């Protein structure tokens, strides 16, 4: 059975690498059943299910369920953030980008990294000191609880929905490729496992799934990079010069400019990656799992190190694939194209440097990676509904803990069923724009409201509500009118909005909207909100009154 579609809509679907989707085309084929990979994956599931059982016994309150009772250390949280952020397709997609375009692949790697110093220096400490379970706690700290929580929850759910669809479709295609399993089996399997981790284990189980996955992915990628460097005598000069000789593009692979051709798109892409990272609900939620602001800072420090190291490895793996995969006829089909499309080069390289056993290991790690990411997304979506909407908006902060937990579990089940149904519904669609859209919305709605609520004294509820809504609507509208959707998905001849990435425009609209509607707000409520900035500032700096770790 051969399914033909853009690889951008296949493997890259599982990550922000979709922003680079149009750079990669090829054919994806269902492979023979890989029993080594399946057996290794079964071992991973058995281990993580054991952890879920252990975590379930410790989940006695909403604090335990949403934030693991604040008991995660800075190092553990840093590793878990890295596990949440490094997706299967960052690994496969960036390696493939480097394989096809050389240096340009590194631009995307760095793009995913630059958001982290912003979070470290400007946000981590204040988030931990002001929030309890979700970033809406921080955004609505001195503003109108109902309005801001509805906006933040809606922003979170939209980001989670688009991200989740992309992950589920990506999971189906990826498992079809790596394990030889049927698409529907793969999607249902991911959905069921994701619900089990989140439903029973909560944040504690999700955290440990992410930590184990990060260790496995970093170990596997390190081994691959080490074997590539051994092949060239541990000399980068040899690696690059040999690649230039072999590659069709020659010296062009060592220079930038092949993927993003105009400066507007380049800036827009950069803004989406940088501010989008600082607005992703499943990433922001991780800062409430540590005991205090110091541990929050530490966790970003460690996460940045792990993520940076990982993206350097993908660069070496990409160039290694040029040397060891493109020159080996074993990895090519009758037409001379890479078997399974260019996104398979990292998997082929695993076979080239470590044989079938290591190939099975890397395949299992790729699947584990998807599970770790979807679990984090599901937990963020469930907490937006149960904590923000049910407990704080509908019940006005007076919800009983057992009622809130019940709503959380119902939401988790619903999200699982919805994810499976959407994964099946979008099987044949080009969903290459979805994670790009998720990043744009996070950058245009979540980030401006959150950032200005912590840093700008004159922010009012009216400004945040109108500006944030404008940012969200602009990001959605411009994505639909862009070449990615208007031409490639809807089949029109020419796009109304000429650029692929809307973030530059939608982020500007959000910030200007928030600024304008805040400074023109002369109401009594607005002046009260401005007066509450100083007490908020004191708490954000000192942590006085912040929730600490829960004793067990």
pLDDT tens-place string over residues 377-436: 999 999 999 999 999 999 988 888 889 999 999 999 999 999 999 999 888 776 667 888
CA 274 distance to own-chain centroid: 12
Instruction: Determine the Cα–Cα distance for residues 82 and 313; give it in Å rounded to an integer.
Output: 14
Instruction: Determine the Cα–Cα distance for residues 376 and 149; give it in Å rounded to an integer.
Output: 20
Helix then strand then coil, % of the chain, to nearest 5: 75, 0, 20
**Alpha-helical runs (H) found in 482-523:** 503-519
Q: Which residue has the tokens 């929850």?
A: 153
Q: Is residue 441 very low, low, confident or very high in pLDDT (cuts 50, 70, 90)?
A: very high
Q: What percent of the chain has pLDDT over 70?
A: 92
Tell me if 518 is assigned to some domain. Answer: yes
Give the per-residue pLDDT at 113: 84
Contacts with 201 (C-beta within 8 Å, 6 or more apart), sequence order: 51, 52, 53, 55, 56, 59, 209
Please say if the pLDDT value at position 7 is more than 60.
no
DSSP string, 140-191: TSSS-HHHHHHHHHHHHHHHHHHHHHHHHHHHHHHHHHHT---HHHHHHHHH
Tell me if 458 is assigned to some domain. Answer: yes
Please say if the pLDDT value at position 524 is more than 90.
yes
pLDDT tens-place string over residues 168-224: 888 888 888 778 788 899 899 999 999 999 999 999 999 999 999 999 999 999 999
Give the per-residue pLDDT at 27: 41
Q: Is residue 340 very low, low, confident or very high in pLDDT (cuts 50, 70, 90)?
A: confident
Instruction: Determine the Cα–Cα distance for residues 322 and 320; give it in Å rounded to an integer.
Output: 5
Q: Residue 39, class by beta-carbon neighbours within 10 Å (0-12 exposed, 13-18 middle, 19+ buried)?
A: exposed
The neighbouring-strand residues paired with 3 are: 28
- Total tally of structural domains belonging to the chain: 1
CATH number at residue 443: 1.20.1730.10
In a 3-state reduction of DSSP, which class is residue 335?
coil
Give the per-residue pLDDT at 106: 78
Q: Residue 147, class by beta-carbon neighbours within 10 Å (0-12 exposed, 13-18 middle, 19+ buried)?
A: middle
pLDDT (mean) for 159-170: 89
CA 541 distance to own-chain centroid: 28
Give the per-residue pLDDT at 105: 82
pLDDT tens-place string over residues 491-503: 888 989 998 889 9
Tell me if 475 is assigned to some domain. Answer: yes
> To the nearest whole number, what is the mean pLDDT of the chain?
87
Measured between alpha carbons, how far is residue 298 from residues 128, 133, 202, 547 in Å? 12, 19, 23, 18
Structural contact between residues 132 and 547, judged by C-beta atoms closer than 8 angstroms: yes
Structural contact between residues 379 and 133, judged by C-beta atoms closer than 8 angstroms: no
Please say if the pLDDT value at position 24 is more than 60.
no
Instruction: Determine the Cα–Cα distance for residues 165 and 87; give it in Å rounded to an integer.
Output: 14
Tell me if 286 is assigned to some domain. Answer: yes
Tell me if 38 is assigned to some domain. Answer: no
Token pair recorded at residue 210? 């992410």
Give the per-residue pLDDT at 33: 75
430-434, 483-487, 527-531 — most confident range:
527-531
Give the per-residue pLDDT at 378: 94
Tell me if 549 is assigned to some domain. Answer: no
Residues 174, 177, 179, 181, Cα dihedral to 10°: 90
Instruction: Determine the Cα–Cα distance for residues 203 and 400; give it in Å rounded to an integer.
Output: 20
Q: What percent of the chain has pLDDT over 90?
A: 55
pLDDT (mean) for 101-117: 82
Q: Is residue 552 very low, low, confident or very high in pLDDT (cuts 50, 70, 90)?
A: very low
Please say if the pLDDT value at position 45 is more than 60.
yes
Q: Which of 364, 414, 416 is nearest to 46 (CA)?
A: 364
Please say if the pLDDT value at position 12 is more than 70.
no
Q: Is residue 126 very low, low, confident or very high in pLDDT (cuts 50, 70, 90)?
A: very high
The neighbouring-strand residues paired with 29 are: 2
Give the per-residue pLDDT at 370: 87
Tell me if 39 is assigned to some domain. Answer: no
Count of other CB atoms within 10 angstroms of residue 354:
17
Report the run of H or E that residue 3 belongs to, with start and end. strand 2-3
Q: Which of 351, 355, 346, 354 is nearest to 321 (CA)?
A: 346
Give the per-residue pLDDT at 548: 58
pLDDT (mean) for 476-485: 90
DSSP string, 412-446: HHHHHHHHHHHHHHTTTS--TTHHHHHHHHIIIII
Tell me if 52 is assigned to some domain. Answer: yes
Cα atoms in the Cβ-side hemisphere of radius 13 Å centred on 265: 18
Give the per-residue pLDDT at 29: 58
Domain range for 166 is 2-23+44-426+434-542
Give the per-residue pLDDT at 430: 65
């Amino acid at each position: 059975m051969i399914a033909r579609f853009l690889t951008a809509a296949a493997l890259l679907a599982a990550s922000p690498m979709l922003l680079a989707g149009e750079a990669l085309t090829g054919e994806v084929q269902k492979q023979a059943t890989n029993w080594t990979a399946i057996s290794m994956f079964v071992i991973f599931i058995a281990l993580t299910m054991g952890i879920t059982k252990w975590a379930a016994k410790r989940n006695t309150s909403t604090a335990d369920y949403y934030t693991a009772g604040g008991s995660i250390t800075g190092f553990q949280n840093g590793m878990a953030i890295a596990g949440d952020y490094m997706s299967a397709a960052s690994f496969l997609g960036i390696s493939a980008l480097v394989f096809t375009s050389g240096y340009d692949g590194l631009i995307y790697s760095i793009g995913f990294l630059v958001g982290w110093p912003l979070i470290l220096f400007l946000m981590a400490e204040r988030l931990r000191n002001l929030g309890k379970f979700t970033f809406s706690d921080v955004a609505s700290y001195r503003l109108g609880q109902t309005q801001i929580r509805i906006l933040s929850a809606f922003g979170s759910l939209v980001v989670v929905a688009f991200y989740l669809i992309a992950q589920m479709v990506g999971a189906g295609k990826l498992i079809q490729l790596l394990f030889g399993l049927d698409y529907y089996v793969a999607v249902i399997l991911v959905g069921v496992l994701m619900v089990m981790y989140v439903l029973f284990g909560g944040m504690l189980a999700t955290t440990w799934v992410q930590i184990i996955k990060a260790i496995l992915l970093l170990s596997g990628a390190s081994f691959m990079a080490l074997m590539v460097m051994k092949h060239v005598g541990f000399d980068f000069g040899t690696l690059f010069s040999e690649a230039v000789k072999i590659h069709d593009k020659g010296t062009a692979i060592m220079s930038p400019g092949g993927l993003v051709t105009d400066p507007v798109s380049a800036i827009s892409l950069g803004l989406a990656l940088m501010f989008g990272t600082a607005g992703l609900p499943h990433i922001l939620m991780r800062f409430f799992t540590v005991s205090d602001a110091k541990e929050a800072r530490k966790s970003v420090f460690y996460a940045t190190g792990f993520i940076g190291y990982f993206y350097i490895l993908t660069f070496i793996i990409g160039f290694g694939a040029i040397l060891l995969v493109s020159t080996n006829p074993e990895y090519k089909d009758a037409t001379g194209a890479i078997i399974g499309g260019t996104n398979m080069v990292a998997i082929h390289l695993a076979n080239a440097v470590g044989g079938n056993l290591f190939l099975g290991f890397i395949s299992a790690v790729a699947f584990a990676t998807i599970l770790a990411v979807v679990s984090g997304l599901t937990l963020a979506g469930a907490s937006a509904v149960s904590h923000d909407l049910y407990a704080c908006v509908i019940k006005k902060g007076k919800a009983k803990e057992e009622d809130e937990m019940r709503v959380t579990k119902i939401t988790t089940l619903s999200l699982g069923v919805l994810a499976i149904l959407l994964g099946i519904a979008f099987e044949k669609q080009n969903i290459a724009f979805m994670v790009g859209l998720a990043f744009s919305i996070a950058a245009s709605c979540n980030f401006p409201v959150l950032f200005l609520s912590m840093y700008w004294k004159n922010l009012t509820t009216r400004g945040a509500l109108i500006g944030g809504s404008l940012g969200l609507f602009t990001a959605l509208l411009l994505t639909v009118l862009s070449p990615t959707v208007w031409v490639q998905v809807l089949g029109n001849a020419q796009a109304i909005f000429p650029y692929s990435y809307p973030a530059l425009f939608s982020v500007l609209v959000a910030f200007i909207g928030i600024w304008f509607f805040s400074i023109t707000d002369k109401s009594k409520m607005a002046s009260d909100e401005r007066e509450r900035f100083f007490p908020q500032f004191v708490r954000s700096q000192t942590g006085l009154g912040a929730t600490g770790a829960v004793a067990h």
